[in-house]
Amino acid sequence: MRVRIKDIAEKTGLSVSTVSLVLSKKEHRIPDETCKRVIDIAKELHYRPNQMAASLVTQRTKTIGLIIPDITNMFFAEIAKSAENECQKAGYSIILCNTNDNPQSDIDYVNMLVGRGVDGILFAMAVNATVNKAEECFAISHQFEKPIILVDRVVPGLNTVCVLSDNEMGGYIATRHLLELGHKKIGCITGPMGAQSSKQRLFGYIRALQEYGVAFDTSYIKEGNYHTPSGFALSKELFELDVTAIFACNDMMAYGVYKQAASNGKKIPEDLSIVGFDDLQFSELMEVPLTSVSQPAIEMGQSAVEMMIEWIDHPDQQPENITFKSELVIRKSTAMPSGKVKKAN
């Protein structure tokens, strides 16, 4: 049977209210010796607080929902792991939902989470979510007065709180690196163009070309879906255009480019330079380690949870957006068009 506060009170000879104050950490007027006795007896009896009963009093469940689009993508897996660790440290539980990039699942999971009484929702939307679908998700959360923080993926025009990285700068520094090596025929495999992150990374690519005086050729732009097979298929089309370098807008698609290059007898970086985006853990372990734009997934997950708990504690104080700086991690997948590695000045 579940041990009750009343059982601890009987064992210690103290009142139920005194035991309750100690166990709820409101013991500032209670002698230290008494507090220690209550805690020791609680441990001896294997007391566990009834979270459901506590939530009826506080109107909180100390639970946060996390909706991610693709658990097989290590970027989102790292965000989820970091968020869970931060929740544990703060005494919160987390409910993880994986939508497989299905916008209807976004809506279904938001409904499920508010039904479970979560205190807030961290939300990385499906990559092809429309504004209408996003608005529906926010309407549900507002109806139940549940705060939402968007992680990585945002919707322009919606007044939302976001944690993300500087996607346009990431696309810019990736392309600039290839231009500085001497590449001019640079292909770009984007994410779905309905996603703001995809557009911003493409804008960065175009801005770098413009600054270096390289003509923007639309035939070098191929729309992917952030998954490895699209990188494999679309890089074949770019090979037919004799590109010397490819900027893949995430590492998963870059892995597909590697596979296609091997199928076509192309060596990396001698015949083809590749830059990815995300800097997943596996990227540095590849036979030819991948140059990639780093997104701080761990810091993003941690910051999102910290912001959410602060917002839950102070619901009238909406937190400000956080944008992390993108940085390029240069490895061995990029070289000059001749295949020679550029020497440092």
pLDDT tens digits in sequence order for the chain, 345 residues long: 677 888 888 889 988 888 888 877 666 678 888 988 888 988 888 877 665 555 544 456 899 999 999 998 889 999 999 999 999 999 899 999 999 999 999 999 999 999 888 999 999 998 877 778 888 898 988 888 899 999 998 877 777 899 999 999 999 999 999 999 999 999 999 999 988 899 999 999 999 999 999 999 999 999 999 999 999 999 999 999 999 999 999 999 999 999 999 999 999 999 999 999 999 989 999 999 999 999 999 999 999 999 999 999 999 899 999 999 999 999 999 999 975 555 544
Determine the Cα–Cα distance for residues 174 and 153; give it in Å rounded to an integer: 20
Range list for CATH 3.40.50.2300 in the chain: 62-165+297-324, 167-295
pTM for the structure as a whole: 0.79
Q: What confidence tens digit (pLDDT) does each residue in 207-252 have?
A: 999 999 999 999 999 999 999 999 999 999 999 999 999 999 999 9
Class of domain 62-165+297-324: alpha beta
Determine the Cα–Cα distance for residues 137 and 69; give it in Å rounded to an integer: 14
Determine the Cα–Cα distance for residues 73 and 227; give it in Å rounded to an integer: 8
Residue 262 token pair: 């091997």
pLDDT reported for residue 267: 96
Q: Does domain 167-295 fall into CATH 3.40.50.1820?
A: no
